[in-house]
């Protein structure tokens, strides 16, 4: 096992590439951050992505996410999707966004599958097509090719190859891809945040058509939750009345570990999660909000899980919480998969912290 470069201990799981254990990252962040930051920059440089959020005094302001990039002429935002051409901010608008989509048969391996209408029939007949799993129906899975985080463990990192390339899909075209047996649209990625105007416009068009035809269509989101707060209201409006679910990926609790793993702060994510938790009671049949955390060995440890679970339980102990098995990937391909023993410990810690609904996902990955 690789030793931590700071404390030299070898009894902790350490990514040789990252170099430091979670304890030293939390306790000595200022000392270890420069080398970790260099690794993040290396991971972005490989794809031509901006190394940091641009803040050009003369640039155009992007109001989608917490970075609030000020993008210069000919430049790109941190996400790589937003750019300035001819003095105009482009990218991720209803006229075109970088994405791919496919039809995923229900029930599917969704973060919320264990309680959502598609996986269980919950909310039938208002929100579900069947009184049970929606077999015979599909989810229109929309993968956006951009992200405003820089997770070193990204499970879907290959989208970065397509951030600057590929044809753009209009909101009208994507909405037209909804079939008669499409029961839900799920936006994920990457992350939908850098292209929210496109996702919201698609949802509006698709819902109008479904309502006219008398069909159920849920709108769901899987996101890091770091959009600017004014975008939370339209997100809820697109999902609340149709049984859709907003799924927040809570990567870590301590800002130090979060920044080491994802390159950015988690302050906006936690703030937005708390704001949405206050609306949970508006639709008791199907929870509007859920959280998930990837159990990254050695880094998302029991201290991180305890902190996140206490945070969730204090907001509303009935928020469903999924703990997901990790598979080594991207710049943290040097880690093992999550152990079954650790996953069970994490579940127990989350429950003891007060969360009433804790679920283990990706169990096929556990060893």
**Is 238 part of any domain?**
no
188 vs 221: CA distance, rounded Å: 6
Does a cis peptide bond (omega within 30 degrees of 0) precede residue 42? Answer: no
Confidence band for 61, pLDDT divided at 50, 70 and 90: very high
| Rounded (5°) CA angle 253-254-258 | 85
Residue 320 located in a structural domain: no
- Overall domain count for the chain: 1
Q: How far apart are the first and last CA of the chain?
A: 18
What is the average per-residue pLDDT within 65-73? 98
Measured torsion, CA atoms of residues 71, 76, 82, 85, in degrees rounded to the nearest 10: 70
Residue 217 is assigned to a structural domain of this protein:
yes
pLDDT at 272 over 80: yes
pLDDT for 27 beyond 80: yes
Q: Counting every residue, how long is the chain?
A: 367
Residue 328 burial (10 A CB sphere; 0-12, 13-18, 19+): middle
pLDDT at 367: 87
The SS3 of residue 313 is: helix
Classify residue 149: in a domain, yes or no: yes
161-185 CB burial, b ≥16 within 10 A, e <16: ebbbeeebbbbeebbebbeeebbbb
In whole angstroms, give the CA distance from residue 123 to residue 140: 20
Q: 361 lies in a domain? A: no
pLDDT at 89 over 90: yes
Q: What is the DSSP string of 185-245?
A: EEEEES-SGGGHHHHHHHHHHHHHHHHHHT---EEEEEE---B-GGGHHHHHHHHGGGT--
How does pLDDT run across 221-260, given as a tens digit for each residue? 999 999 999 999 999 999 999 999 999 999 999 999 999 9
Is a pLDDT exceeding 90 seen at residue 117? yes
Q: What is the pLDDT of residue 50?
A: 98
CB 247 within 8 A of CB 112: yes
Residue 139 sits in which domain range?
A: 51-231
- Domain membership of residue 166 (yes or no) is yes
pLDDT, residue 72, reads 97
Domain membership of residue 148 (yes or no) is yes
Residue 112 placed within a domain = yes
Taking only the tens place, the pLDDT of each residue in 153-180 is 999 999 999 999 878 999 999 999 999 9
How far is 294 from 288, CA to CA, in rounded Å? 21
């Amino acid at each position: 096992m690789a030793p931590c470069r700071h404390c030299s201990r070898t009894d902790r799981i350490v990514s040789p590439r990252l170099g430091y254990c979670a304890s030293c990252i939390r306790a000595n962040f200022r000392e270890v951050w420069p080398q970790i930051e260099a690794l993040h920059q290396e991971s972005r440089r490989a794809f031509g992505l901006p190394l940091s959020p641009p803040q050009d005094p003369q640039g155009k302001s992007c109001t989608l996410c917490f970075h609030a990039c000020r993008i210069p002429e000919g430049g790109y935002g941190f996400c790589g999707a937003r750019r300035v051409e001819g003095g105009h901010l482009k990218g991720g608008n209803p006229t075109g966004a970088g994405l791919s989509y496919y039809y995923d048969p229900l029930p599917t391996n969704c973060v919320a599958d264990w309680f959502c209408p598609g996986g269980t029939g919950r909310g039938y007949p208002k929100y579900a097509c069947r009184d049970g799993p929606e077999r015979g129906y599909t989810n229109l899975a929309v993968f956006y090719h951009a992200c405003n985080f820089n997770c070193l463990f990204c499970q879907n990192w290959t989208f970065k190859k397509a951030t600057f390339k590929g044809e753009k899909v209009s909101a009208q075209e994507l909405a037209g891809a909804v079939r008669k047996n499409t029961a839900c649209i799920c936006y994920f990625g990457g992350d939908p945040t850098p292209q929210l105007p496109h996702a919201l416009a698609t949802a509006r068009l698709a819902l109008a058509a479904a309502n006219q035809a008398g069909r159920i269509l849920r709108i769901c989101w899987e996101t890091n939750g770091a959009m600017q707060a004014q975008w939370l209201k339209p997100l809820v409006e697109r999902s609340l009345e149709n049984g859709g679910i907003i799924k927040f990926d809570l990567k870590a609790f301590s800002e130090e570990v979060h920044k080491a793993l994802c390159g950015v702060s988690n302050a906006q994510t936690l703030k937005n999660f708390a704001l949405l938790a206050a609306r949970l009671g508006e639709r008791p049949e199907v929870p509007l909000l859920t959280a998930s955390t990837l159990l990254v060995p050695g880094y998302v440890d029991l201290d991180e899980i305890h902190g996140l679970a206490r945070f969730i339980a204090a907001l509303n102990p009935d928020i469903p919480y999924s703990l997901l098995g990790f598979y080594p990937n991207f710049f943290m391909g040097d880690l093992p998969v999550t152990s079954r023993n650790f996953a069970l410990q994490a579940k127990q810690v989350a429950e003891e912290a007060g969360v009433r609904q804790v679920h283990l996902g990706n169990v096929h990955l556990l060893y």
